[in-house]
């Protein structure tokens, strides 16, 4: 009934994960939702194998909630999702999308997940001008409104943490450093973005030191079988470069993904 309606810079659409507000001039997430009714389906498809009813999931770098909604559906009313997003307007849209779909098992957290407790200043973004709002990095912080910085270790006592997704535009190492107690206690599966060539080796070494096996997960942005049945690929050759990280002690039969064997191992994707 409200699909296509405009709310300031944002629009509303029916998607694979329910009704969503989105920004139509957001280069990747917004364009994908508008054209395809979904975002990065192949990541969500993997998540369906990594968590289930009753689990607790952390979505660090949740943006407007495309994956948060999938996690909320997968863990069900007995599970819980903590969704971190530091950019104020994007956080507001994240919370709106959770509310629009009636999920009571999500806590949106307007904060940065980082190495140590503290505070950062996060600038407001212009959402009426085209841009890749999902690429906003903590390295840009310095001016703006104060936002808390919270290590994930603050949540180490939480029950049944099975999956932590970390997509924070080059600051993944800081998030992991601030989650050492949580990781030691729960040994969750980690799904970690790794598309910064200059930081890749250190990030891989950091995860090896935590005794994880790592696998490249390269997810095309275009899904031919998308929700809107749109056959046009506006993201030719573009993939999300992530690592599936599994505790080494877990007996896991992982097929279809190339295992990372050294810190110098590269994904083979040009944008890494």
**Is this model's pTM higher than 0.75 or not?**
yes
Give the model confidence (pLDDT) of 150-205 as tens digits: 999 999 999 999 999 999 988 999 999 999 999 999 999 999 999 999 999 999 99
- At residue 144, the pLDDT reads 81
User: Average per-residue pLDDT in the chain?
Assistant: 90
Place of tokens 């969704």: 83
pLDDT at 17 over 60: yes
What does the alpha-carbon distance between residue 139 and residue 86 come to, in Å, rounded to a whole number?
13
Which residue in 38, 6, 40, 2 sits closest to 23, CA to CA?
6
Pairing of strands 56-60, 80-84: parallel
pLDDT at 131 over 50: no
- At residue 143, the pLDDT reads 75
Give the model confidence (pLDDT) of 68-127 as tens digits: 999 999 999 999 999 999 999 999 999 999 999 999 999 999 999 999 999 998 877 655
What does the alpha-carbon distance between residue 23 and residue 90 come to, in Å, rounded to a whole number?
9
Q: What are the b/e assignments for 88-106, b being 16+ CB within 10 Å?
A: bbbbbbbbbbbebbebebb
- At residue 152, the pLDDT reads 98
Give the model confidence (pLDDT) of 27-42 as tens digits: 899 999 999 999 999 9
What does the alpha-carbon distance between residue 183 and residue 46 come to, in Å, rounded to a whole number?
21
Indicate the pLDDT class of residue 261, thresholds 50, 70 and 90. very high
- At residue 133, the pLDDT reads 46
- At residue 169, the pLDDT reads 80
Domains and CATH numbers, the chain: 40-260 (3.40.50.150)
Indicate the pLDDT class of residue 1, thresholds 50, 70 and 90. very low
pLDDT at 8 over 80: no
């Amino acid at each position: 009934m409200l699909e296509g309606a405009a709310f300031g810079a944002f629009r509303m659409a029916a998607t694979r994960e329910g009704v969503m507000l989105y920004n139509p001039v957001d280069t990747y997430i917004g364009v994908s939702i508008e054209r395809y009714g979904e975002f990065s389906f192949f990541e969500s498809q993997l998540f369906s194998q990594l968590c289930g009813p009753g689990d607790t999931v952390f979505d660090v770098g949740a943006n407007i909630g495309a994956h948060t909604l999938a996690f909320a559906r997968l863990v069900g009313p007995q599970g819980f999702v903590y969704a971190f997003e530091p950019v104020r307007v994007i956080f507001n849209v994240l919370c709106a999308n959770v509310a629009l779909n009636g999920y009571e098992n999500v806590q949106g957290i307007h904060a940065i997940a980082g190495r140590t407790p503290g505070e950062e200043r996060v600038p407001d973004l212009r959402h009426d001008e085209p841009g890749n709002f999902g690429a906003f990095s903590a390295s840009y912080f310095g001016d703006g409104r104060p936002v808390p910085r919270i290590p994930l270790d603050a949540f180490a006592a939480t029950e049944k943490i099975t999956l932590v997704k970390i997509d924070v535009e080059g600051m993944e190492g800081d998030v992991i450093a601030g989650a050492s107690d949580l990781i030691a206690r729960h040994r969750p599966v980690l799904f970690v973005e790794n598309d910064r060539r200059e930081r890749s080796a250190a990030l891989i070494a950091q995860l090896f030191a935590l005794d994880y096996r790592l696998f490249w997960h390269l997810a095309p942005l275009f899904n031919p079988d998308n929700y809107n049945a749109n056959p046009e690929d506006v993201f030719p050759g573009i993939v999300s470069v992530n690592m599936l990280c599994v505790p080494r002690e877990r007996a896991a039969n992982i097929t279809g993904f190339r295992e990372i064997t050294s810190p110098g191992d590269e994904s083979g994707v040009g944008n890494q």
